[in-house]
Amino acid sequence: MRWLKLDPITQKRIDRFRGIKRGYYSLILLGIAMVLSIFAPYLAESRALLVWYDGRPYLPTFEYYDMDSFGQEPPLAWGMGDLETEYLRLQREWRAERYFYDRERAEVGDDPAALAALDEKFPNRRNYVVMPPIPWNPYESDFWYNEVLNEIQAVLDEGAEERAEMMARRDGLDELADAIHTGRIHGLLDDVDASPTGDLLGLARSGAMPSLERLGEVPPTPPDFGRRHYLGTDSQGRDVASRLFYGFRISIFFALFLVLFGQLLGTIVGSLQGYLGGRFDILSQRVLEVLIAIPFLYVVIIMAALFAPTFWMLLAIMAVFQWISITFYMRTEMYREKTREYCLAAKSYGASHLRIIFRHLLPNCLTPLVTFTPFAIVGAVFALTGLDYLGYGMPPPTPSWGELIDQALMPENRDKLWLTLAPFGAITVTLVLVVFIGESVREAFDPKRYARYE
């Protein structure tokens, strides 16, 4: 920290803060989470990080590749390849291809001609896809649970059993894939007990094939590691983990920007009020009183009703109101400090007003700032979540915690525990971390322990 000259007292405060483990680790954890969230598009995204295709790397995060680029079959209902590749499906398809290759390889033996034919048949077995840890973006609906059996059924009805098996294998429905491979599936479908309706959906409903039991369900679906929905899906099939992560990114940066701006402006105005005093103080105080009397939530709600709120608009509206409270504290601090001898000394040396304020007085007035800032962050996160919950926050489909909480609290979703636990858990953990940090900072800066004037 050579570039930042710290006086010994500040150094002591920092050391003391680091000594309070709870706060220190909370800061590290939160810091890591924030840094990670900056890289959210690399961590929770449906576009692959890397596709290795025919001996060449592709980076879909930065480039658009349609389905034809990798020879991917378009989704059944679409029937055209002018779409962005579905990378997660591609990954699973290529993995299934490797499975089939290995299976047939074992049957073929060492005959070079047959091997060459196999190579031809499974050209993608050497290709691979690297997906982000959460392979879902926060917007896409995954209706796989409800749709996959219909799709496989349609392919089966066409008589394309190999393709049907591939689809089942691709999606990890091994029991079904084996049944199709061995031909057992026809017996099952014809059996009224196993499938009362004579189709795959009936098979899933009757429980004759236990691994299909969760299929035929509409969202919200519970957590499923196989499908890589680590926290389940929400009421329109979007990945909760992904939305939670992006929601964190938005709320925490919203809070940071807001608090940074608010505390900065508040400190400047408050310091000037306290330092200059007199008429400026009296007049500006009256203006602030008017401002603070405006009920901020109503203003936001009215604005949100008239204009579609955006990140920056919400930030601006809230910033207008957020900076005021800190001015009062800074003002009093300044009033107290400016009468002290060191200030008079600086004055007598001919220091300029700005220099006195920012070099000499401000460092001694930091306690309220440091103490209140963490709680201001908590407040800002809460405010944004609350606005989203009420429907006055970011426009849909922006991922947000408030929107998730809103879904979780709908009567029909009350038994969907993952929907409730995820956002509440996230909010609790984040706020607890921030509060821990705040407490430790306050303790470290406690003026009773160290006073600059002694």
**Count of Cβ atoms closer than 10 Å to residue 264 Cβ:** 13
Determine the Cα–Cα distance for residues 89 and 142; give it in Å rounded to an integer: 12
The answer to whether 197 contacts another protein (rule: CB under 8 A) is no
Q: How far is the CB of 301 from another protein (least distance, A)?
A: 9
Please enumerate in sequence order all residues whose Cβ is within 8 A of that of 421, keeping only pairs 6 or more positions apart, or say none: none
The answer to whether 63 contacts another protein (rule: CB under 8 A) is yes
Please enumerate in sequence order all residues whose Cβ is within 8 A of that of 416, keeping only pairs 6 or more positions apart, or say none: 220, 222, 232, 408
Determine the Cα–Cα distance for residues 369 and 330; give it in Å rounded to an integer: 8
Measured from the CB atom, the residue of 66 and 178 that comes closer to another protein is: 66
The answer to whether 207 contacts another protein (rule: CB under 8 A) is no
The answer to whether 218 contacts another protein (rule: CB under 8 A) is yes
- Residues in region 31-60 near another protein by CB under 8 A: 41-42, 45, 47, 59
The answer to whether 193 contacts another protein (rule: CB under 8 A) is no
**Contact of 138 with 243, CB cutoff 8 Å:** yes
Among 64, 298, 349, 453, binds another protein (CB under 8 A): 64
Binding mask 393-412 for another protein (x = CB under 8 A): --xxx-------------xx
Determine the Cα–Cα distance for residues 333 and 353; give it in Å rounded to an integer: 16
**Contact of 347 with 275, CB cutoff 8 Å:** no
Measured from the CB atom, the residue of 129 and 437 that comes closer to another protein is: 129
Q: How far is the CB of 45 from another protein (least distance, A)?
A: 8
Q: How far is the CB of 247 from another protein (least distance, A)?
A: 15
- Residues in region 105-164 near another protein by CB under 8 A: 139-141, 143, 146-147
The answer to whether 311 contacts another protein (rule: CB under 8 A) is no
The answer to whether 82 contacts another protein (rule: CB under 8 A) is yes
366-390 helix and 324-337 helix, angle to the nearest 10 degrees: 170
Q: Which stretch binds another protein (CB under 8 A): 77-85, 114-122, 273-281, 374-382?
A: 77-85
Among 225, 293, 306, 453, binds another protein (CB under 8 A): 306
Among 6, 83, 160, 316, binds another protein (CB under 8 A): 83
The answer to whether 391 contacts another protein (rule: CB under 8 A) is yes
Q: Which stretch binds another protein (CB under 8 A): 101-109, 180-188, 256-264, 305-313?
A: 305-313
- Residues within the interface to another protein (CB under 8 A): 41-42, 45, 47, 59, 61-66, 77-80, 82-84, 139-141, 143, 146-147, 218-219, 235-237, 305-306, 308, 391, 395-397, 411-412
